[in-house]
Amino acid sequence: MEKRAQFLLALSAAAAAAFVAVVFVLRWVLHFREGLAWDGGPAEFNWHPVLIVIGFVVLQGIAIIVYRLPWTWQCSKLLMKFIHAGLNLLAFILAVISMVAVFDFHNFAKIPNMYSLHSWLGLAVVVLYGLQLVLGVGMYLIPVAPVSWKAAFMPLHVYSGLSLFITVIAVALMGITEKLIFGLSNPKYKDSPPEALFVNVLGVLLVVFGGLILWIATRTSWKRPSDQVLHALHTSAGGEDNTKVGPALSQLSEGNDAESSSDVRRRGNKLGDEAE
Amino acid sequence: MEKRAQFLLALSAAAAAAFVAVVFVLRWVLHFREGLAWDGGPAEFNWHPVLIVIGFVVLQGIAIIVYRLPWTWQCSKLLMKFIHAGLNLLAFILAVISMVAVFDFHNFAKIPNMYSLHSWLGLAVVVLYGLQLVLGVGMYLIPVAPVSWKAAFMPLHVYSGLSLFITVIAVALMGITEKLIFGLSNPKYKDSPPEALFVNVLGVLLVVFGGLILWIATRTSWKRPSDQVLHALHTSAGGEDNTKVGPALSQLSEGNDAESSSDVRRRGNKLGDEAE
C-alpha cells in the first residue's frame, strides 16, 4: 500500500509539473509573444516551443511510464505496447512539425539554419528518436524477431529511450536560452523582465518533470508485476554465468519496459495473434 | 571475457571523449578567447568553462564509475568510497571556483548575476551537489548511520548522483549557447565562424561523454562482484514481500554504488575501523 501511495505521489507530481509546463508555454507564446499562426513569421516559430513541450517532452514522458500505471496491468502487454508506440509516434510527428515551423520561420526571415548547438543536438535527437521508433516497432510489435534478439536488444532500447528523453529536455533548455536572448531586446534578458522570469520557470518545470519521469521509470518495484518476476529471475541467475543465458539477458534489470518471458514466448508462438 | 572487452571498449570511448573535450575547452579559451587569468576580465571568466569541463563533468563522471573499474575490485570498498568522495569533493571545489570566476567577471563588467535559466539551474545543481556530498559522507563514510538507513538511502543517492551529473551537462550546454551568442559579434554565431563550429563540437563531446558514463553506470553486470551478489539477493526476494525487508532494499537494484550487505555489516560492527 505504501508502495502504491509513493507511486501515486510521484505520478501526481509529474502530472502537475507537465500540466503547469503546458500552461506556461501556451501563456508564453499567447501572452508574451506573437501568438500562433502558420504564416512564416514569429507566430509560426511559436509552434516550435509549444509542440516540443506538449509532444516531445510531455507525451514522450507519458509514453515512458505508461507500463507503470497499475490500472493498466489488467490490459494485455500487446495493447500497452501499442499505446507506448502510439504515444511515441505522436510525439515524433509533433517534433517534426515543430521543426518545420522553425525552418519556415528561418527561411522567411533569412536566418541561417542549423548553426547552433541547439539545432545540431535537436536534429540528432529527432533522427535518433525516429530510428528508436522504427527499431522498437520492428523488434517488439512486428512478430518476426527471435526471442533472444528481443531480450538482447531490450537494455539498449530502454537506455536509448531514457537518454533521448533526457537529451530532448536539455535541448529544450538550450532553446529557451536562445529564444530569451534573441527575443528580448528592450528590456533585455539580463534586465530580467517578467517574460524572462516566467520562461525561466518553464525551464525549471521541464527539469522537474524530467526528474520525476526518470525516478518513476527506474524504480524496479513499480514495474508491471510480470516484468518484476522476469527481473528477479534474471538477476538471481547472477554473476559470470549470465553469459550462458545470453549476453544481455542479465542486463534486463536495467530494462524498465522489458516484456515478460511468457509474453515473449506467447507472441513467438502465436505470431502476433495476441490481441487479448 | 566478452563482458570485460565490452566494458573496456565503453571505458576507452568515455576516456577519449573526456580527453578531447578537455583539449577542446582549453583550445577554446587559449586560442579563440582571451586565455586564462584572474583579473576580473574575460580571461577570468574563461576559468568557468575550463573548470566546469575538467571538474564538474570529467571528474564527476570518473567518480560515478570508479567502482566499476575491475582493477579496483581487490581494493577495500572503504578505500573506493574515499576515492569516490574525494573525486566528488574535488569536482565540487572546482565548480565553486568556476562560479566565483563568473561572479567576479560579471561584477567587474557590471553585468547582472543570476538572471538566466543557465545561472538558476547552475546554482541549484552546485547547491544540491554539495548537499549530496554532505549526505553521502554522513551516511556512508562516517560510521554512525544504521545499516537500514544506508540501504534505504542508497537508491536516492544513486538517482540523485546520476541526475545531478546529467543536469550539469545540460547546464554546460546552455552555458556554451550563451557564451557563443554573447561572445561572437563579427562574425556572429549564426554566421558559423570556426569558433562556433569548434565549440559546438565541444558540446557534442560532453553529450557523448555523459551518455557513455550513464551506460557504464547502469550496467548491473559491470558492478563490483560483491554488489552484484547483493543485487541478485534483493531482487530475487521479489514482489510485494520486499516491503518486509525494508521499503527501499528492493530498490537497490537501481543502485549502482550499493555497498554489499557484508560490507555494511562489517563497518557497522567495526565502527569504521576497516582500513584494510
* Closest to A251 in 3D by CA, of A240, A235, A265: A235
Nearest to A189 among B115, B203, B240 (CB): B115
Percent with pLDDT over 90 in chain A: 80
Q: Is B163 on the interface with A (CB under 8 A)?
A: yes
B46 lies in the same domain as B115: yes
B103 lies in the same domain as B187: yes
Boundary residue ending a domain (B192, B208, B224):
B224
Q: Band of the pLDDT at A275, cuts 50, 70, 90?
A: very low
Residue whose C-alpha cell reads 553469459 in the numeric block = A243
Tell me how close the Cα of A272 comes to any Cα of chain B, in angstroms. 28
Give the range among A53-67, A234-248, B111-125, B228-242 with minimum mean pLDDT: A234-248
Q: Which of residues 179-218 of B touch A (CB under 8 A)?
A: 180-182, 189-192, 196, 199-200, 203-204, 207, 211, 214-215, 218
A220 lies in the same domain as A242: no
Nearest to B221 among A177, A231, A242 (CB): A242
CB contact under 8 A, A115 and B228: no
CATH number for the domain spanning A189: value is: 1.20.120.1770
Tell me how close the Cα of B164 comes to any Cα of chain A, in angstroms. 10
Predicted local confidence at residue A261, as pLDDT: 42
Q: Band of the pLDDT at A258, cuts 50, 70, 90?
A: very low
Sign of the C-alpha dihedral, residues A131, A136, A142, A143? positive
Q: Band of the pLDDT at A228, cuts 50, 70, 90?
A: confident
Q: What is the spatial distance between Cα B188 and Cα B112, in angstroms, rounded to a whole number?
A: 23
* Closest to B183 in 3D by CA, of B105, B97, B121: B105
Predicted local confidence at residue A109, as pLDDT: 97
The total number of structural domains in chain B stands at 2
Residues of chain A contacting residue B196, judged by C-beta atoms under 8 Å apart: 115
B67 lies in the same domain as B203: yes
Q: List, in sequence order, the alpha helices (H) in chain A.
A: 2-27, 42-45, 47-51, 60-65, 77-109, 117-140, 147-183, 194-217, 225-237, 242-245, 261-270
Q: What tens-digit pLDDT sequence spans chain B (276 residues)? A: 688 999 999 999 999 999 999 999 999 999 999 999 999 999 999 999 999 999 999 999 999 999 999 999 999 999 999 999 999 999 999 999 999 999 999 999 999 999 999 999 999 999 999 999 999 999 999 999 999 999 999 999 999 999 999 999 999 999 999 999 999 999 999 999 999 999 999 999 999 999 999 999 999 999 998 777 766 665 554 433 333 333 333 333 344 343 444 444 444 333 333 322
B216 lies in the same domain as B233: no
Q: What is the spatial distance between Cα A115 and Cα A268, in angstroms, rounded to a whole number?
A: 47
Residues of chain A contacting residue B178, judged by C-beta atoms under 8 Å apart: 177, 181
Return the SS3 of A168: helix
Mean pLDDT for the stretch of residues A172-184: 98
Q: What is the spatial distance between Cα B132 and Cα B159, in angstroms, rounded to a whole number?
A: 11
Predicted local confidence at residue B233, as pLDDT: 62
| Model pLDDT for residues A37-50, shown as the tens digit of each residue | 999 999 999 999 99
Q: Which of residues 219-258 of A touch B (CB under 8 A)?
A: 219-221, 225, 228-229, 231-232, 235-240, 242-243, 247, 250-251, 253-254
B52 lies in the same domain as B75: yes
Sign of the C-alpha dihedral, residues B36, B41, B47, B50? negative
Residue of A nearest to B238 (CA): A232
Is residue A265 over pLDDT 70? no
Predicted local confidence at residue B256, as pLDDT: 38
Predicted local confidence at residue A226, as pLDDT: 78
Mean pLDDT for the stretch of residues A245-274: 37
State the pTM of this model: 0.87
Predicted local confidence at residue A79, as pLDDT: 97
Range of the domain at A104: 2-224
Boundary residue ending a domain (A183, A200, A224):
A224
Residues of chain A contacting residue B232, judged by C-beta atoms under 8 Å apart: 235-239
Residue of A nearest to B217 (CA): A254
Predicted local confidence at residue B235, as pLDDT: 58
CB contact under 8 A, A254 and B196: no
B125 lies in the same domain as B253: no
Nearest to A116 among B118, B182, B189 (CB): B189
Boundary residue ending a domain (A199, A224, A249):
A224
Q: What is the spatial distance between Cα A181 and Cα A199, in angstroms, rounded to a whole number?
A: 12
Predicted local confidence at residue A2, as pLDDT: 87
A271: exposed, middle or buried (Cβ count in 10 Å: 0-12, 13-18, 19+): exposed
Q: Band of the pLDDT at A232, cuts 50, 70, 90?
A: low
Residue of B nearest to A122 (CA): B204
A216 lies in the same domain as A244: no
B219 lies in the same domain as B233: no
Listing DSSP states for A243-263 in one string gives HHH-TTGGGGGG-SSPPPHHH
A71 lies in the same domain as A183: yes
Q: What is the spatial distance between Cα A95 and Cα A121, in angstroms, rounded to a whole number?
A: 13
A210 lies in the same domain as A233: no
Tell me how close the Cα of B234 comes to any Cα of chain A, in angstroms. 8
A259 lies in the same domain as A160: no
Residue of A nearest to B175 (CA): A174
Report chain A's mean pLDDT, rounded to a whole number: 87
The three-point CA angle A124-A119-A165 to 5° equals 50
